[in-house]
Homo-oligomer: A and B are copies of this chain.
């Protein structure tokens, strides 16, 4: 069984984006939200029609904040006894636990939790885009009571929106996101919070290292309170290990020239080397080290395009690209990551055309 009519409950950024994407796939979408303003905006921008109580959808997508998710899922299962219900909250185990605690029989064969790993800086329906999920991971988390057709519907939903499908248990999901999403968020916030009272002259030395580590520290506090609260057990398990490592490093640095001290520090950095090397590369390919070719460009419109035009004519595929921000200068550095075998010829060709190539 496939679904044709969908009720999206919650028309924030994600719910509205789902509505837009499903409409583009020819599905019939109804929208509902506790805020009449939010649902009107979502309908106005084409995410679907405002729901009225008489309609029964094939599929309900609960796109509520984590703390409201279980209640909304339960309500949808009761109100729409024929519908499949999915939620998209970024924590899964605790939502399922809450669902199981509702009094009376809840038909969990028709429910499956999912997590589309997409988002953006802005929130609300105005920020929504139908292509928000394109090529982003979407985790489907079947539980022991779920029916296979429920899982199939959730997978169809993710596929329709162009996402990349992953299947895990709720516990696997929560452990995974604690590690690859919640830990980095906590670390970025911890580092960035140390900058609050930093002297301005220290911040003037900031480079890409600091910028990279702290970029996600700009996240929304309200959302993260819910995520960390709901995923507290999995996050705690990782933080206990982190605390142990911090304590060990502090102990080592308190007597850095004691026997074994330098080996301890080297081991921490080497373990970091080993860990970062395991992060998959582009398109899920094995981790791959690229060679960086750095080019100096003037900071004016068209320079980067001109550079990349020349790179394209040379025929080299750019795997990653970064701009280096340095304080006090009106020139920039563009870092082009290319396959190691292509770096030397690219650097030579660019130099030949007249670009200032800094690093090859």
Interface of A with B (CB < 8 Å)?
Answer: 117, 120-121, 127, 129, 131-132, 134-137, 139, 164, 166, 168, 172, 175-177, 179-181, 183-196, 198-199, 201-207, 209-222, 224-225, 228-229, 232, 235-236, 238-243, 245-247, 249-250, 253-254, 256-257, 261-262, 265-284, 292, 294, 296, 299-302, 304-312, 315-318, 320-323, 325-333, 356, 358-359
In this complex, what residue of B is CB-closest to A325? B282
- What is the minimal beta-carbon distance from A324 to any residue of chain B, in angstroms? 8
Q: Is the CB of B214 within 8 A of A279?
A: yes
**Residues of B contacting A172 with CB < 8 Å?**
199, 201-202
**Residues of B contacting A329 with CB < 8 Å?**
134-135, 164, 283
- What is the minimal beta-carbon distance from A245 to any residue of chain B, in angstroms? 5
Indicate which residue in B209, B292, B301, B322 contacts A316 across the interface (CB closer than 8 Å): B301
Q: Is the CB of B242 within 8 A of A246?
A: yes
Q: Is the CB of B194 within 8 A of A242?
A: yes
**Residues of B contacting A299 with CB < 8 Å?**
282-283, 317
Would you give 7 A-B contacts (Cβ < 8 Å), ordered by A? A135-B328, A179-B202, A191-B272, A192-B275, A282-B325, A308-B309, A320-B325
Q: Is the CB of A271 within 8 A of B210?
A: no
Known: A183-B194, A212-B216. A280 touches B317 (CB 8 A): no
Q: Is the CB of B201 within 8 A of A168?
A: yes
Oligomeric state, in number of copies? 2
Q: Is the CB of B129 within 8 A of A203?
A: no
**Residues of B contacting A318 with CB < 8 Å?**
301, 304, 323
Indicate which residue in B164, B280, B311, B327 contacts A280 across the interface (CB closer than 8 Å): B327
**Cα distance A305–B199 in the bound complex, in angstroms:** 40
**Residues of B contacting A249 with CB < 8 Å?**
186, 190, 239
Q: Is the CB of A199 within 8 A of B176?
A: yes
**Residues of B contacting A326 with CB < 8 Å?**
135-137, 164, 282-283
**Cα distance A240–B320 in the bound complex, in angstroms:** 36
Known: A205-B180, A246-B239, A308-B305. A325 touches B281 (CB 8 A): yes
**Residues of B contacting A134 with CB < 8 Å?**
296, 329, 331, 333, 358
Indicate which residue in B164, B186, B243 contacts A243 across the interface (CB closer than 8 Å): B243
**Cα distance A279–B213 in the bound complex, in angstroms:** 12
Indicate which residue in B225, B257, B284, B323 contacts A266 across the interface (CB closer than 8 Å): B225
In this complex, what residue of B is CB-closest to A279? B206
**Residues of B contacting A241 with CB < 8 Å?**
194
**Cα distance A110–B194 in the bound complex, in angstroms:** 36
**Residues of B contacting A215 with CB < 8 Å?**
209, 212, 276
